[in-house]
Amino acid sequence: MPEEKSPPDWLKPSVEYGPIAIFFVAFNLADLFVATAAIMIATTLALALSYVVERRVPMMPLITAALVGIFGGLTLWLNDETFIKMKPTIIQAIFGSVLFVGLLANRLFLKSLMGSVWHMTDKGWKILTMRFSVFFYLSAILNEAIWRTQSIDFWVNFKVFGLTGLTITFVVSQLPLLKRFSEKGSVDPGVH
């Protein structure tokens, strides 16, 4: 049986961050409605690229794409920006809920997703899963607060840079937990 090739290093960032970068550029060149159409197209193209390169589509980008399609479609069809502003809230709440319900059912979905990169004991995975769940819920609440109280420009910058920065900061803050519950005594050197 042939050995499975790992995807190129550029693929994951392109699929995850390419559409949001296109959204930001389109918003700054035009408006939120053009940016919404742009992110819908870019997300579809990113999934197609993922499929062409890997012959599969990862579950989380697929869920995100479905929600972009639904909320973006509603935004454009009803000419109402509320729907696209609520999309990050819904995505964060879904991810938080899936992780939390998984914990209640004694399922470690985060381990299934990240276990090949982070090697930890099940106790570490349970703690990390709870932390991620809480992080997703707090991100959802923060998105709601910002889009309801701030300007559209402020919200777009928060969506593109704030949520990304908060996520990176959160993941980095979990490195001591990864190290403490590591099965190998250290985090995989491939993780930066």
What's the pLDDT at 37? 97
Residue with tokens 């392109």: 14
Does residue 174 share a domain with residue 107?
yes
Strand partners, 182: 120
Last residue of a domain, one of 75, 107, 132: 75
What's the pLDDT at 59? 81
| Domain ranges, residue 23 | 1-75
Last residue of a domain, one of 75, 108, 125: 75
Last residue of a domain, one of 54, 75, 96: 75
Does residue 17 share a domain with residue 109?
no
**The two three-digit tokens of residue 121, written as one number:** 């004991």
Helix or strand (DSSP H, E) at 51 = helix 32-54
What's the pLDDT at 187? 46
Residue with tokens 């703690």: 127
Per-residue tens of pLDDT for the chain, all 192 residues: 555 678 888 888 888 899 999 999 999 999 999 999 999 999 999 999 999 999 988 888 888 899 999 999 999 999 999 999 999 999 999 999 999 999 999 999 999 988 888 899 999 999 999 999 999 999 999 999 999 999 999 999 999 999 999 999 999 999 999 999 998 644 444 444
What's the pLDDT at 135? 98
What's the pLDDT at 192? 40
Buried b (16+ CB within 10 A) or exposed e, 22-41: bbbebbeeeebbebbbbbbe
Does residue 112 share a domain with residue 71?
no
**The two three-digit tokens of residue 24, written as one number:** 């930001």
